[in-house]
Amino acid sequence: MVKKSKGRQKIEMVKMKNENNLQVTFSKRRNGLFKKASELCTLCGVEIVVIVFSPGKKVFSFGHPNVDCVIDRFTNINPPHPRQHTDTQLSEAHRNAIIQDLNSHLTQVTEEFEIEKKRAEDLKKKRKNSYISDNWWEEPIKELNLSQLTEFKCGLEKLRKTVTTEASKNFQTIVPRHNFDGGSSNNATFGICDDHAGNIDTNLDLYNHQRMVATNTFACNHHNMMVPYHITTPFGNIGNGNIIEGFAAEYNQNPNHLCFKKEHISGCDHHSVHPPRFGHGYY
């Protein structure tokens, strides 16, 4: 098996020649040094200060409990006052508790990251293994010819319709309230997601969603496809379709707020009044 890169290599302990590499090395190693210092403090409960000057003469420092305190002690400027002993103890305990929390949090996030990395690896392996297939559409787009592309596009557009339909089914269980501005034009209601950042009425969402789904289903980004002149939804007609805006569902972790982003699709000014003609191939 041929390795792609050389991997970790031993480097000479002399000043680096390449300036860019030097800067990158500096950043990485500085961070690593601070990490080690942080770990030492946590594990062994010692006081430490690390001072580093960058190639650009900027100073970076890390200190526990803090930089100034340790430096002062070292240079004997401010010997600790015995009177402050109890105060320091309490605040120290409080501080340590906070630090312990932060450490646990960091460990947790790091573990999550490791899990995601493994997932990424598995997915890439899966793609590699299923590479040897008859499905030409799974090849990279650059390797497809024009007729394949057009065909793929058609199939994918159909798939999109079905997916959108499935998505709309999720919302049909909730009955919308009729306290919205029903007779408005395209733009007004579709802008609702932007206007009400955060406090979106879920029912209004449902209304918008259904209208958007209806529009999206008929949205075209291929001038050969016929688009109906009038789109009728359960909630009334939507404009006269001079410019149809397509919508992309925004991936949102909270399924209750399926928000749609506006997306202007170019080349889609249609002045035709033709009814939809499904089942017709492309021209």
Give residues 130-189 in contact with other proteins (rule: CB under 8 A).
Answer: 133, 135-138, 141-142, 144-167, 170
279, 225 Cβ separation under 8 angstroms:
no
Element (H, E) at 111: helix 85-129
- Three state DSSP letters for 181-212: CCCCCHHHHHCHHHHCCCCCCHHHHHHHHHHH
Nearer to other proteins, 100 or 242 (CB): 100
Nearer to other proteins, 162 or 237 (CB): 162
Contacting other proteins within 68-127 (CB under 8 A): 70-71, 73-75, 95, 98-100, 102-107, 109-110, 112-113, 116-117, 119-120, 123-124, 126-127
212, 190 Cβ separation under 8 angstroms:
yes
268 binds other proteins (CB under 8 A): no
229 binds other proteins (CB under 8 A): no
Nearer to other proteins, 57 or 178 (CB): 57
50 binds other proteins (CB under 8 A): yes
46 binds other proteins (CB under 8 A): yes
Residues touching other proteins, count (CB under 8 A): 118
Member of 221, 229, 233, 239 binding other proteins (CB under 8 A): 221
Shortest Å, Cβ 179 to other proteins = 26
Q: How far is CA 164 from the centre of its chain?
A: 21
d(CA 238, CA 215): 8
Contacting other proteins within 233-252 (CB under 8 A): 248-252
> Phi and psi dihedrals of 113, rounded to 5?
-60, -40
Cα dist from 235 to 23, 180, 232, whole Å: 61, 11, 8
